[in-house]
Amino acid sequence: MGKFILRRVGVMLLTALCLTFGVFFLTNLYPNLEKLAKTQGNFRMSDEEVQTYLNNNGYLQPMVAKYGQWLGVLPGYVIEGTDGKVRAKCAERQQPVEEVDRYCGILQGNWGYSTVIKQPVAGIIVDKLALTGILMFWVMVLMVPAALVLGVMAGMREGSRLDRTLSTFSISTTATPEYVSGVLFIAVFASTAVGLKWFKGTATSAMDNVTFENFFLPVLTIAAYGMGYIARMTRASMAEVMTSQYIRTARLKGVSFYNIVVKHALRNALIAPFTVIMLQFPWLLNGVVIVETLFNYKGFGWALVLAAGNNDIELLLAISVISVLVVLITQLISDIGYVYLNPRISVT
């Protein structure tokens, strides 16, 4: 088991390296840098001035060198600028060049400085991740049990009226993207359009104090989309299990229908959806971007939109690192959990 996890962590790190290099490469293309120079300096810079600015700040080094420095495996640059000032990547504000550390990448815990929010990236990430974590937690609390119940109920008697009703419901929720359902929910439950002002159309206040009123709509919007999908998978898996021979064996042993479903079918039927549930985490990140922007909840997704819109390279990179880790860790958990659910698979 330990060996298996080690190997998976190795693969994970390699994937993270490749993905971050991709993001790094794209954000560091020259047009982006030019835009960055102009936002940092002034918008009327000439081409030469842009060149000088970028060169002085180490942006014109070879891509691999820059990536190595960002990562912290290469020493940070120390450049004597055309203006005679010496700038070092690792220098804190006003710090003399001589006292600066040689390395300062994410490996040294230096995530950089956000050009938009004007704060160190590490702090921003921690705050935003915590906020999104709360959102995700409630989404899971609502989505997973509801989806499993829906799926199992639909799948236990395939083709019945109950099955068809629940299937229609889950197909329609999963076929509605968040930007449609979110707007719909706001219109119906939070606006004067329908008049049911049950919930709030914005979740900004939930950042300090989560209440049912201000948080239910964003949670529901994300959950509804994933729920239908998981319910469909659970239903398919359940329906297949219910036709299998060991269920017939159980039935002809005299086991009651309730016990057939709960004791015999459930564990077998959950093997397939479990992986899907774990795959939903990355998907949720995607939904989070839309929903957080829509409900003005300043979490991880909101920060991503902000960083991407303003070419905030270091924030964007940090967000992508975290996203990659979330995806890969959930996959690791999913594989390990799968082993526990399915006795036929062993990692040892």
Q: Which residues contact 103 (CB under 8 A, 6 or more apart)?
A: 72, 73, 74, 75, 76, 90
**Judged by CB under 8 A, does residue 198 bind another protein?**
no
Provide the CA 164 distance to its chain's centre, in angstroms.
Answer: 33
- Looking at beta carbons only, is 91 or 341 nearer to another protein? 341
Rounded to whole angstroms, the Cα distance separating 76 from 88 reads 7
Cβ 279 vs Cβ 233: under 8 Å: no
Residue 159: CB atoms within 10 A of its CB come to 9
Q: Which stretch binds another protein (CB under 8 A): 82-90, 209-217, 267-275, 313-321?
A: 267-275
87-93 LR contacts (CB < 8 Å, sep 24+): 87/56, 87/57, 87/58, 89/58
Binds another protein (CB under 8 A): choice among 249, 262, 305, 333 = 249
Binds another protein (CB under 8 A): choice among 123, 263, 309, 333 = 263
- Looking at beta carbons only, is 19 or 255 nearer to another protein? 255
**Judged by CB under 8 A, does residue 237 bind another protein?**
no
Tokens 């994933």 locate to 226
Provide, rounded to whole angstroms, the least separation between the CB of residue 264 and another protein. Answer: 5
Q: Which stretch binds another protein (CB under 8 A): 33-41, 101-109, 143-151, 262-270?
A: 262-270
Binds another protein (CB under 8 A): choice among 82, 256, 262, 333 = 256
**Judged by CB under 8 A, does residue 7 bind another protein?**
yes
**Judged by CB under 8 A, does residue 4 bind another protein?**
yes
**Judged by CB under 8 A, does residue 296 bind another protein?**
no
**Judged by CB under 8 A, does residue 3 bind another protein?**
yes
Which two tokens mark 344?
């036929």
Q: Is 308 exposed, middle or buried (0-12, 13-18, 19+ CB in 10 A)?
A: middle
**Judged by CB under 8 A, does residue 264 bind another protein?**
yes
**Judged by CB under 8 A, does residue 342 bind another protein?**
yes
**Judged by CB under 8 A, does residue 2 bind another protein?**
no
Provide, rounded to whole angstroms, the least separation between the CB of residue 185 and another protein. Answer: 39
Give, as ranges, the residues between 133 and 162 that touch another protein (CB under 8 A): 159
Buried b (16+ CB within 10 A) or exposed e, 106-145: beeebbbbbbbbeeebbebbebbbebbebbbebbbebbbe
Buried b (16+ CB within 10 A) or exposed e, 31-48: eebbebbeeeeeeebeee
Residue ranges in contact with another protein by CB under 8 A: 3-4, 7, 159, 244-246, 248-256, 263-264, 267-268, 271, 341-348
